[in-house]
Structure 1
Amino acid sequence: MNNNTSLIWNIVLTLAVAVLFFLHFSSKPSADAGVAADGNVVPGRRTVYVQVDSLLKNYDFFKDTRKELENKNFQLENELNTKGRSLQNEVAFFQQKAQTMTPEQARSTEAQLMKKQQDLVAYRDQSAQALGMEEAKKNEELYKNIRSYIDKYNKENGYEYVLGYSLGGGILFANPSLDVTQKIIDGLNKEYKGSNKSAAADSTKKK
């Protein structure tokens, strides 16, 4: 069941494998200079980076989404456990009373119990699939939010590259002065807070 709520691992892999958010503005190269690995100035290259792990850890949308999915998974597991114990009790009761039943009654009861078991398995699979689809949708929304804000942020700053920096990723070193993680986090959380207020206002109006 936990595989269907692995949002944090799925999205980290999604961002880490991609390694970078690639934003290239070819129409108007910047006159500002970047710094190469050997310390030499490279004209026309403005690059910053975002720490992916820190971004996810501090992005309120991600934290809320992870908590929501974990709660749904927990509720589903409890529901399945309750239904499973109830079915086990019915089976145990049937086994105790089977000798007092006619063959026809025993076959009928056994068929009913098998049907309940099949229904429970089907419900488990359908619920897990629905939860997995919801998780995938949230993953997509998360990536869309991040990419959309970085696009917006970059229009105001004109960077040629906004790299995704993560431990074990393709970037082995990043100058701390080029780290814009906190600015991206602040901007994302501000937009998320605003969207929540708008949603709450719309809900109030509908009532």
Structure 2
Amino acid sequence: MKNASLIINAVLAVAVAVLYYLHFKDRQPDVESVVAKPAAAKGREIVYVNVDSLLTKYEFFKDTQKVLESKRFQLENDLATKGRNLQNKVAFFQQRAATMTQEQGRATEASLQKEQQDLLAYRERAAQNLAVEEQNKNKQLYDQIYDYLKKVNATNKYEFVLGYTKGGGILFADPSGDRTKVVLDGLNKEYKDKPAPAKK
């Protein structure tokens, strides 16, 4: 009887131990619950500026585009005039070729070919100069926007100011994060207040 009682006590002790283990095994203290959670800190804002609106309404960009467009137009007119002059010379040469000596004909033809090559080289140089000027103006535009945003964000209010373009990398932008008007107003005010560069 004593042996039976010991066996029953041993089985009961093992059963209690198993039940104790099963009961508390899923209740391991969570590391997060043990460590006191700090109060949720509000992060700095992420806002955006509509790049299309910025480019169409920023006065510096509009003025720059007018200047570059005017230079493109002048270049096209200049090239068209030079091209017509060359065509006239070629037509005149073709009319007079029969009355020229072979030597005169070759010399005139060589002169016209050189003039054509010079015109092509001039067009290439002028297009490159215009492209470099446009690149410099774009850099100046970016620098002005960056400097303005850096100055406005001196208090670290914004963590990011994204450039939003429809069809660009940002698929959705909540209108509450749109700072386009504020940035545009500030940029245009600074541009208007900036003294005009001295004319050379």
Q: Is the Cα–Cα contact under 8 Å of residues 44 and 157 in structure 2 kept in the other structure? A: no
1:81 & 1:104 partners in 2: Cα distance? 30
Number of residues paired by the alignment?
161
Q: Is the Cα–Cα contact under 8 Å of residues 49 and 164 in structure 2 kept in the other structure? A: yes
- SS in structure 1 opposite 2:47? strand
> Letter of the aligned partner of 1:171 in structure 2?
I
> Letter of the aligned partner of 2:58 in structure 1?
Y
Report the CA distance between 1:172 and its aligned residue.
1.9
Partner of 1:199: 196
**Structure 1: where are the runs of 5+ without partners?**
1-40
Partner of 1:152: 151
2:113 & 2:56 partners in 1: Cα distance? 45
Q: TM-score, normalised by structure 2?
A: 0.76
Report the CA distance between 1:161 and its aligned residue.
1.5
Report the CA distance between 1:78 and its aligned residue.
0.6
Write the mapping of 1:5-44 to structure 2, written as runs, cut at 5 A: 43-44=42-43
Partner of 1:187: 186
Partner of 1:62: 61
> Letter of the aligned partner of 2:114 in structure 1?
K
2:169 & 2:95 partners in 1: Cα distance? 63
Q: Structure 1 vs Structure 2: percent identity of aligned residues? A: 61
Write the mapping of 1:28-177 to structure 2, written as runs, cut at 5 A: 43-156=42-155, 158-177=157-176
1:99 & 1:109 partners in 2: Cα distance? 13
CA RMSD, 1 decimal: 1.8
> Letter of the aligned partner of 2:172 in structure 1?
F
Q: Is the Cα–Cα contact under 8 Å of residues 44 and 156 in structure 2 kept in the other structure? A: no
> Letter of the aligned partner of 2:176 in structure 1?
S
- SS in structure 1 opposite 2:182? helix
Report the CA distance between 1:170 and its aligned residue.
2.2
Cα deviation per residue 1:129-174 (whole Å; 9 max; x = unaligned)?
1101101100110111111111111114611121111101222222
Tell me which stretches of 4 or more aligned residues in structure 1 moved more than 6 Å: none
Report the CA distance between 1:72 and its aligned residue.
0.5
1:105 & 1:173 partners in 2: Cα distance? 71
Q: Is the Cα–Cα contact under 8 Å of residues 54 and 184 in structure 2 kept in the other structure? A: yes
Q: TM-score, normalised by structure 1?
A: 0.73
